[in-house]
Amino acid sequence: MDTPTATGPIFVGPGTGRPIPTRVDVLIVGSGPNGAAYARVISDSHPGARILMVEVGPRLTTLPGLHTRNIADPEEAQRVIRGSEGGNDTRTAQIGDHLSQGRPGAVPAAGTFFVDRAAAEANTPGTLAAAAISSSVGGMGRHWACATPTPHVSELPSFIPEQEWRALLAQSRSLLATSERPLTDSADWRECLRRVSGVFDRRLPAGRRTGNMPVARRIGPDGTVVWSGTDTVLGRLATERRETFTIAAQTLCSELLDHDGRVAAATLRSRVDGSTVTVSASVFVVAADSLRTPQLLWNSGIRPRALGRYLGDHTITAGIFTPEYLDKPEDVSAVFGAGRTLNNTTGTPSNGLGTVPYNPDTHPLHSQFGQAAIYHEGRARGEGVTMFGYMLPKEARFEDRVRFRADRTDRYGMPAIEFDYGLTDRDRELAALASANITRAAEALGASGVVGVTQPHGISLHYLGTVRMGARDDGTSVCDSRSRVWGHDNLHVAGNGVIPAELSCNPTLTSVAMSVRGARAACATLESVV
C-alpha cells in the first residue's frame, strides 16, 4: 500500500544529497512508534520546532514506517522485511512446521535479526537467548502484531494518577488507531469466545473479561484492512513535506555529549561512508529500542545505577489444538500459509484474536489466543486450529540485565550486547498456572492432542525495564515519571524499556502512553529555552 505520491517527510544525510542540519530543537534517536509519538506530540504543540529523527537502518518504502502487511505485492513485502533484517538472518519462519512439532526453532520473527544467533540456536541458559532487533525507518512499527490490550491499573506506575493514565492511554489508542472491532464475526470464532468465557469469566471483574483483542488497524471504505505502522503514529508528518521535520536514515547516533548534566550535542555517523557530524539540540530523545537505548547511554558515559537492569521479557507458552467444532487440518502450514497467520487476518474472515485479561487476584497473567480456519468447497465444516497462549510477566530483579562490552563491538561498531537473565520461583509458578489454564481452555473447546509450545527467552520482542521509570532517583530507575533521565532535564528515553517490568500484556499501548507524557514535558523544555 506504499504510494509514490507521498510528498514527505524530507530525508537528509546518506544518499540524499542534503546535509544533516547541525542545529535543531529536538533530536530523536530511533524511528519506531515511540520516537514517532514524541515527534507527533511535539510538532502538534510546537509546529515551528525543528525536529531531526535519526535511524540506523535504511528507508525501505516511500511512506516512512508503513506496516509490511499493507504492501500488496508479496515480493515487495519480502524485500522490505529482509531490509529490516539488516541483510542477515533472512530465513522466514515456517510457522506450520514449528507449531505442528511444538518447537520454536532458532528463527527470528519476520523483520528482525538476532542479537546473537549462536546463543539463539543453542538456546543458551542464563541469557536472553533469542533477543532480536529490527533496523529500518519505522522500526518494529513495520512488523508488530498490532495488539493493543489495556493494562490493569495495578500494573501501571502508581506515582502517576489513575485518571491521568486513562487519558494517556486514550491518546495512545488514538495515535495507534486502535479498534475494538473484532477481526471476524464468524460462527466458529463466536463459539470459541463463548466457551473460553465460560471457563474464565466467572472469576473476572466486569470490564476485564474474555473478549476480542483490541487491534491497531483501520478498515477502508472498500473493506480493506489497513494495519497501523509507525506512519500511523506520525500522522501528517509521514505524508507532508515540512522543513521542520527531517529524517536521517542509515545514520548511527554513536554518542551523546554530556556537559554538567545536560546533553549539548550528539555525534552522528553515516553508515554509508563513515563520515561524522555533530548535532546540537535543546531536547534529546533516545527511542532506539529497549536494548540499544541503554547501549547509547552507556557508550556516552551516562550510566545510572539501574541502566540495563530489571530486564523483563514475556516468556511465551502456548497450546495448539483443534476444537471439536472444526476438523483437524492434514497440514497445519496450510492454515497459516499465504497471509493466514493468527495476527495477519487480511482476506481470512474466519480468523479471530482474543484475550483473557490480567487480573491480579484471579488471573495474574495475560492470555492471547487465536483461531484460524480455512474452508474447502463441498465441506460443511472448516478445518483449523486454536492457539491458546500466555505471555508471562517477569518478576523484576536487579540482576536481570542487558550489559555492554568495552572490548567487543556489534555490527554497528557499538559496544557488544550481552545478557544476564534467569527465572524466579514466582516466574515458574506462573508458568505452571499458564500450562494448567491452557489445558482448561482445550477441554472447554473439546480438543484433544494439545501440542505445547514454550518459546526461548527473548522471542516475545517485549523487552521491559532497561531504562525504567521511577518515582525517585534512588538507584532503582533510570528516568523520572516524565521519562527524563535522572540528572538530565533535556534527555528523555522512550520505548518499552521505560516500563518498570512486570507488565503482563503487549506493551506498545503503554509505552506510547508514557511517550505522550514525556513529549509534553519536552514541549515545556522547549518553551523554557525559546
Angle between the 162-176 and 33-45 helix axes, to the nearest 10 degrees? Answer: 100
Count of CB atoms within 10 A of residue 153's CB? 11
Q: How far apart are CA 168 and CA 173, in angstroms?
A: 9
Residue 252: Cβ-neighbour burial (10 angstroms; 0-12, 13-18, 19+): buried
ω into residue 357 within 30 of 0, thus cis?
no
| 308: nearest Cα among 398, 402, 404, 405 | 402
| 314: nearest Cα among 459, 467, 141, 140 | 459
Active site residue 462: yes
Q: Where are the alpha helices (DSSP H) in 221-313?
A: 230-234, 292-299
On whether the CB atoms of residues 186 and 250 are closer than 8 A, the answer is no
Backbone angles phi, psi at 84, to 5 degrees: -75, -15
Give the active site residue among 67, 143, 314, 462: 462
Q: How far apart are CA 136 and CA 56, in angstroms?
A: 7
| 436: nearest Cα among 365, 354, 371 | 365
On whether the CB atoms of residues 183 and 341 are closer than 8 A, the answer is no
Element (H, E) at 194: helix 187-200
366 contacts: CB under 8 Å, gap ≥ 6? 149, 355, 356, 357, 358, 390, 391, 393, 504, 505, 506
363 contacts: CB under 8 Å, gap ≥ 6? 200, 203, 204, 356, 357
On whether the CB atoms of residues 288 and 253 are closer than 8 A, the answer is yes
Q: Which residue has the cell 497440514?
A: 331
Q: Which CB contacts under 8 angstroms, 24+ apart, belong to 406-411? A: 410/115, 411/86
Q: Where are the alpha helices (DSSP H) in 235-393?
A: 292-299, 332-336
Where are any strands of DSSP class E within 437-508?
A: 451-454, 491-493
On whether the CB atoms of residues 2 and 66 are closer than 8 A, the answer is yes
Element (H, E) at 365: none
DSSP 249: -
Q: How far apart are CA 266 and CA 274, in angstroms?
A: 15
Q: Where are the alpha helices (DSSP H) in 202-247?
A: 230-234
Residues assigned a catalytic role: 462
